[in-house]
Structure 1
């Protein structure tokens, strides 16, 4: 529809329906998209309701006056870094789009006056700093987009001025933690997206105040464990996304008593085990996404407890060997299970699946049964399970171990070895651990340095050289047994000593490799004269030590220095060197560490003394010159009559020219 108004060059002015994701309305529109503008046109009609100046080269957001009818402003894809206070006079503005600009800072009261603003898009800028009250006065803002910026923290005060906020988007910033109380005034928030940040820590009360929150996206962060307690503050949470986080296992009651209906835990690079009771009392859960976890090899048959409403289970594209029938039996409302693209072991454990797919009495819950392919045993590799015969009776089959460890390990002395192994079979097998010394452990025990936890996990702490050898997990039932082994080699720490050059009767040594000390209980330096049989002298090291200076040594004498690891009464040398002392000087006896603060203090004192000496010299020279300039004629005459002319006239001295002129004047 035509709009009879003066229109800026390269712009279109018309009455039409504005149809965007967040705004749909018939308006008087000025569209200057991609018009090559460097400034916002100033000859705009005061009746303009929508101004679109996207995809230009505008740097300063300087609006013409009298734009009080403006409801929609799109300045996206420009080069805006600042905007003037004229924007605060747009009292009818409902939508402000500043997407893809170069804004770095928001000051207090930046948007004051926009009291009816509903949508604010600041995504894909360079935002690093937002003052506490930058969003003050935005009482009706419902949608705030801060995605693709450089924000590394959140402030509670930001949201105090937005009591109507419902949708908050913070994806692709550099947030590292969520602190308690940030959202305690945001009780209308419905959706928050934190995807692709660097969040590692979530405090227990981080979501306090979000009673209405329905959707929470924490995907693709650095979260190592599920912060279960923090979710208890979210009574209306319906959708929770943890995709792509580096979580290694889901432990018992990881998700317990939540009201979520959709839960996603896919694309996790390290997830390998889901323990018994990991999903408990999720009475409203309808859909569970557990697919594309490339290290997920085991789900405990009792992982699901009191999950009465689950209909859709997605566990495809993992490395699961079996899907225990007990899991399906514990889900009374299950309708569809996606299990394709796993490493399926085709023994009696899959009989229930074959019967379910081939049954004519009901619809199979297995999605596309033709895609379920055998991986093992070798005799059935590549066969679709639908090609296997049906059976009407329960069969037994030999166990199969499911080790969660590699075939070989090289572990440094003093560290911890942790091996985990599960098994499947009918009847349920027992697991026994076999150690290099011939010991066999089949129950949960903790003795000295060795612990068997929940029968599935073997832990050997403070490794010694004697712990090297073959470790094995054996699964046994009435039908037979299966064994998985790993070879462990315990080696010295990669720490090396270096002797620094010295010409005195002391030796300084330094070493690298302290990053490997995290599991060490005690490190020491042992030293003595080389080829001597006397006992070593001992220095205890702290985890932060990097060098020591040994003084009061014999001159021109070779010494042996060793860094050793000590556990109980066992001593294990890590690295040794020989170093020779230089010329003897009188130093304090004993061993001292280099104190950088003392060195800095000495240097400071020397510099101050030097500056003071220079100042004294300058003052003395100034006084001499002042004394000479203030002498009377008589004094000058007396001096010149007493001093021979040849002693006074010295052209190379700095005062010779003025003295010579004075004497010549007297002679004349």
Structure 2
């Protein structure tokens, strides 16, 4: 009987509890929020079907007074909540609270009670300006904290004290001006830190040293221009780093080499001008490299990406000035499969580079101004198994006879075996404005076959060769020209000349210093005749300073149709021999010079070759006659000697035969 009475009381109690709980659900879920079972993933990516209360975007000024007791996830985004005064510690299963996009300005106004089971707290897009010491002490097991897109300018040294289980911390898009190592003293389990989009002036040495388990570091949009060599030291588990949209002028290679297990590197949208030799070397675990959307990137130099045994993908796309990739830029990359180079300013892709990548499977080269000449003829020679992505967007931009045609439709036999150098117009600006005392690097790159050599000509006409180093100028082997400590005396037009055995290409840059640029000087071109012979005329000229000889032309004026000839010479040639001319013929000889102000100077002279000298003709005839007589005497002597020799041999043979006959006859018979 007692057992029956106990059972009845138990059932009545459960019914009453269910009735109260149902009442709670009706009060909250039917009138205000949505209550349902939804998929939920924990910070460690464990799946669960979680009772969820969704109060998003209802214009609430406060949370509902009473929530279902089994609530695990509470969503209250996009409301107008500024304070929370009623604790939630009665929700013993509560693991996630989302209060993003509200009007919270201080964590002291948010009293959620002691929630040891809370794993995720979202406070992004509020009005928080500071985090004070121990402000999160009621959430000792917190694994995810989102306070991004607030107004945080102050974080106390012990704001995150006790959060030794935190895995993910988002501090990005705030007003922080410095990173303090003290913040991270208790965060030794942290795996992901996002702190980009803050006006932090610089990263300090060992800033992240306590984060020994950090796997991903995001430092985007911080206007960083450099990072100390030891800034990432000790982060042995770090696998992913993003420096997206900063102001790095060059690759922070020394700092990156401290990250031993780096797998993914994002340097996209930085004003890096060159990927230089040694920038990405010996990163033995790197798998993917992103160097996209760099507005100033001109070239990837030789051995810039070297000895990366695990690298599978390189993305270098949407770089409007990237016009040159050295044939040896990518070396010892045995696992590279994908090479993304579309939407750049590339004129060509050298076959040596592709052949050096044994596992390469696909290349994206579309939306580049491909110049269909000897350098890229290998693409259509069926010598590679590499697949070119989107081939219908891979078009020839030149020469004019191929312009607009699909690269794959131009037969390799239509392209020359060797070709002139070609300097990409995107590699050099038309004009550079500098202040006195500043320095500048001008990057000139050229494709051609044979591979071209590069030198520069200064406004004064000085020729700067590779590896030359002066107080003002230095020319690197790749073609980068450094001007140091510039003054108004160095203002003017600088010209890059790329040349090989076939010819030359050139491009000029106007350098303005403190608004000063030298006015062009009206100088004339003087031609002098140094010698005239029947078949040769030797000319010389004095050219204005800072000029480049374009070509020399000569043609007959006393013969119809006129015979015309052209020779291309470089700036250091000031004397030229016109050969294979005809005697007693008048020629017009013109020298055309392109100066550094892009003007053409031209001067022409008329000159007549001399006749062949009669004296020299008689001497020639006499010499020929003497030689003929001597030859005739030698022939006669040879014939005479041969005749004497034949006579002697005949007599000798006759005597021998007579002796033999005498020996054969009987003794009583004597020869007649």
- TM-score, length-scaled by structure 1: 0.67
- The answer to whether the 8 A contact 1:61-1:80 is kept is no
What residue is the counterpart of 2:389 in the other structure? 367
The 3 A distance-change label for structure 1 pair 334 and 493 is same
The 3 A distance-change label for structure 1 pair 34 and 436 is closer
CA–CA separation in structure 1 for the residues paired with 2:458 and 2:34: 82
What residue is the counterpart of 2:262 in the other structure? 237
C-alpha deviation, 1:178, in angstroms? 1.8
What residue is the counterpart of 2:197 in the other structure? 172
CA–CA separation in structure 2 for the residues paired with 1:339 and 1:273: 15
CA–CA separation in structure 1 for the residues paired with 2:313 and 2:471: 45
- The answer to whether the 8 A contact 1:176-1:201 is kept is no
- 1:527-606 paired onto structure 2 within 5 Å: none
Q: Deviations over 1:453-493 (max 9, x none)?
A: 32623445565666565543333322222233345566776
**Alignment partner for residue 350 of structure 1, among 365, 369, 376?**
376
- Greater alpha carbon shift after TM alignment, 75-84 vs 238-247: 75-84
C-alpha deviation, 1:336, in angstroms? 0.6
C-alpha deviation, 1:197, in angstroms? 2.4
Q: Does 1:339 align with 2:365?
A: yes
CA–CA separation in structure 2 for the residues paired with 1:315 and 1:178: 32
The 3 A distance-change label for structure 1 pair 5 and 132 is farther
C-alpha deviation, 1:283, in angstroms? 1.5
What residue is the counterpart of 2:132 in the other structure? 107
The 3 A distance-change label for structure 1 pair 484 and 135 is same
- Greater alpha carbon shift after TM alignment, 200-209 vs 33-42: 33-42
Q: Does 1:444 align with 2:467?
A: yes
- The answer to whether the 8 A contact 2:129-2:150 is kept is yes
What residue is the counterpart of 1:17 in the other structure? 38
**Alignment partner for residue 124 of structure 1, among 136, 141, 149?**
149
Q: Does 1:457 align with 2:483?
A: no
SS in 1 for 2:74: strand
What residue is the counterpart of 1:481 in the other structure? 504
**Alignment partner for residue 174 of structure 2, among 124, 144, 149?**
149
CA–CA separation in structure 2 for the residues paired with 1:263 and 1:385: 28
C-alpha deviation, 1:391, in angstroms? 3.7
What residue is the counterpart of 2:412 in the other structure? 390
Q: Does 1:265 align with 2:291?
A: yes
Q: Does 1:378 align with 2:404?
A: no
C-alpha deviation, 1:412, in angstroms? 6.2
The 3 A distance-change label for structure 1 pair 55 and 189 is same
Say what the alpha-carbon RMSD is for the aligned residues.
2.9
- The answer to whether the 8 A contact 1:54-1:75 is kept is yes
CA–CA separation in structure 1 for the residues paired with 2:73 and 2:483: 70
CA–CA separation in structure 1 for the residues paired with 2:361 and 2:434: 47
What residue is the counterpart of 2:59 in the other structure? 36
CA–CA separation in structure 2 for the residues paired with 1:279 and 1:331: 12
CA–CA separation in structure 1 for the residues paired with 2:478 and 2:194: 44
The 3 A distance-change label for structure 1 pair 434 and 155 is closer
CA–CA separation in structure 1 for the residues paired with 2:135 and 2:107: 9
CA–CA separation in structure 1 for the residues paired with 2:112 and 2:485: 66
What residue is the counterpart of 1:322 in the other structure? 348
What residue is the counterpart of 1:59 in the other structure? 82
C-alpha deviation, 1:338, in angstroms? 0.6
CA–CA separation in structure 2 for the residues paired with 1:173 and 1:456: 37
- Greater alpha carbon shift after TM alignment, 323-332 vs 145-154: 145-154
- The answer to whether the 8 A contact 2:299-2:325 is kept is yes
- The answer to whether the 8 A contact 1:146-1:170 is kept is yes
The 3 A distance-change label for structure 1 pair 95 and 442 is closer
The 3 A distance-change label for structure 1 pair 6 and 465 is closer
Larger Rg: 2
What residue is the counterpart of 1:634 in the other structure? none
Unmatched 5+ stretches in structure 2: 1-17, 518-672
What residue is the counterpart of 1:613 in the other structure? none
CA–CA separation in structure 2 for the residues paired with 1:455 and 1:54: 56
What residue is the counterpart of 2:307 in the other structure? 281
- The answer to whether the 8 A contact 1:412-1:493 is kept is no
- The answer to whether the 8 A contact 1:5-1:13 is kept is no
SS in 1 for 2:164: coil
SS in 1 for 2:24: coil
Q: Deviations over 1:254-288 (max 9, x none)?
A: 11111210000000111112222111111211100
The 3 A distance-change label for structure 1 pair 130 and 382 is same
What residue is the counterpart of 2:97 in the other structure? 73
SS in 2 for 1:89: coil
The 3 A distance-change label for structure 1 pair 422 and 493 is closer
SS in 2 for 1:4: helix
CA–CA separation in structure 2 for the residues paired with 1:26 and 1:410: 63
The 3 A distance-change label for structure 1 pair 68 and 139 is farther
**Alignment partner for residue 228 of structure 2, among 190, 200, 203?**
203
Q: Does 1:6 align with 2:32?
A: no
Unmatched 5+ stretches in structure 1: 495-668
- Greater alpha carbon shift after TM alignment, 342-351 vs 171-180: 171-180
- The answer to whether the 8 A contact 2:163-2:187 is kept is yes
SS in 1 for 2:121: strand
C-alpha deviation, 1:306, in angstroms? 1.6
SS in 2 for 1:6: helix
Q: Does 1:218 align with 2:239?
A: no
The 3 A distance-change label for structure 1 pair 95 and 476 is closer
**Alignment partner for residue 227 of structure 1, among 252, 272, 288?**
252
Count of residues in correspondence between the two structures: 490
- Greater alpha carbon shift after TM alignment, 264-273 vs 1-10: 1-10
